[in-house]
Amino acid sequence: MIPHSLHSFLVLFLLKSAFYSLSAYASPVDSPAPPVDPPSPAPVDPVPAGPAAPGPTDPLADTIPPFALDFAPLVWLDKKETFFPSDIETHISNTSPFIDLKIVETPLPPLSTANLDVLNPLNTDTQHVFLTTKVPVQDSPKWLEGVAPDQDGKSKDATTCVTIISNRGNGTVDVFYMYFYSFNKGTDVLFHELGNHVGDWEHNMIRFQNGEPDGIWFSQHSNGQAFRYQAVEKQGKRPVVYSARGSHANYAIDGNHDHSIPNINLPAGPVTDRTSQGTLWDPVKSSFFYTYDGATNSIAPLNNSPLGFMKYNGLWGNTDMPKDDPAQESLFGFPKFVGGPSGPMDKRLNRINVCLNDDKSCKVRDKLAA
């Protein structure tokens, strides 16, 4: 038996670790934690990176390569999911730019996916723009629930995904599939909700070698997991992804995934993501498309996709709710509502490895794990 004092310390440690894991992507500065290292088979060599992006002579610069669609992930949303993929334009139209909990008073045009980057001059080293709900988040405005995919897996009358093609040269192409949700419901811990936030960008990235998929990245809270394409579940040749209920962390298998200890996923524990085969979502059916040039850290639209929101460098949700707000709750100092996340351009599109972190070892697994 663990002594009571030690047990209390361990519980507090796990809660603290879990909260940091939940909220890492919901901070103005994208500072991912070290890579996930679950108890799984011995890692294989990382999928190698190609050289820097080739620039204006890129043969894929104006096209969507067929393999980006042929091997695009299919996402299972949980059976009890209540916050579905969300229309990006709807999110913008239902929010207002705030700085330091005050609405921006600078005269602005009506904001949209086409011009959201007009807010960029307001972002500085000392202040950040937050897209803040016009109706208080605690009042649960309906639009935060997103759009449930139809029977064909499409988000009807909504654009809920961003697909970015990065040609690294020498036959290496990275394709990022960015999934947008207007609300992230945090984890219930000891009957308290922790880590809720407005705005949620998750992603898979598939690295292709000469048009064939090699490795695939699954974003999970502050970091994630990488697998060989051959290892993951598929429908036909398309990888299958399991989106966790509420948090929308992406996993390669269904079931429970405890993440109490940062970067270690276990099948059971006090802070658990839950996944199941609920509603099947086909993100590329409702996607904007872009190419990315790593040499200049710039993007270009495909299929007349809007550019302004991709260049926007502010945050996609409300700022941290003050401690004295009646809607705010806490457990051991960890709040119910945290700040919104950064956008797609802040997800290390020019990474060397399949994994998010280039400064740490990248483990690309050849067998599935929790």
* Residue 34 tokens, joined: 């070290």
Give residue for tokens 């009358």: 157
Q: 251 exposed, middle or buried (CB, 10 Å; 0-12, 13-18, 19+)?
A: buried
Q: pLDDT tens, 52-106?
A: 444 444 666 678 999 999 999 999 999 999 999 999 999 999 999 999 999 999 9
**Residue with structure tokens 């096209």?**
63
Structural domain includes residue 254: yes
What confidence score (pLDDT) does residue 56 get? 43
pLDDT attached to residue 267 = 53
Show the CA angle centred on residue 21, arms to residues 15 and 22, nearest 5°: 90
| CA–CA separation, 186 and 31 (whole Å) | 19
pLDDT tens profile 270-316: 568 899 999 999 999 999 999 999 999 999 999 999 999 999 999 99
What pLDDT score does 261 carry?
Answer: 54
For residue 49, what pLDDT is reported? 58
pLDDT at 48: 55
Number of domains the chain contains: 1
Predicted local confidence at residue 61, as pLDDT: 67
Is residue 352 assigned to a domain? yes
Per-residue pLDDT at 263: 52
pLDDT of amino acid 2: 37
Residue 335: name the closest of 3, 19, 6 by CA: 19
> Which parts of the chain register pLDDT below 50?
1-15, 17-46, 51-57, 268
196 located within any domain: yes
pTM of the model: 0.85
Distances from the Cα of 79 to the Cα of 63, 75, 83, 192, 245, angstroms: 36, 12, 11, 22, 8
Query: Is 57 contained in some domain?
Result: yes
Q: Is residue 370 part of a domain?
A: no
Taking the C-alpha atoms of residue 82 and residue 67, their distance in angstroms, rounded to an integer, is 32
Instruction: Output the six-digit token pair for 302.
Output: 């495909």
The pLDDT of residue 45 is 46
Q: Is 135 within a domain?
A: yes
Nearest to 84 by CA among 183, 219, 187, 195: 183
Distance (Å, rounded) from C-alpha 181 to C-alpha 83?
7
Print the domain residue range for 192.
4-365
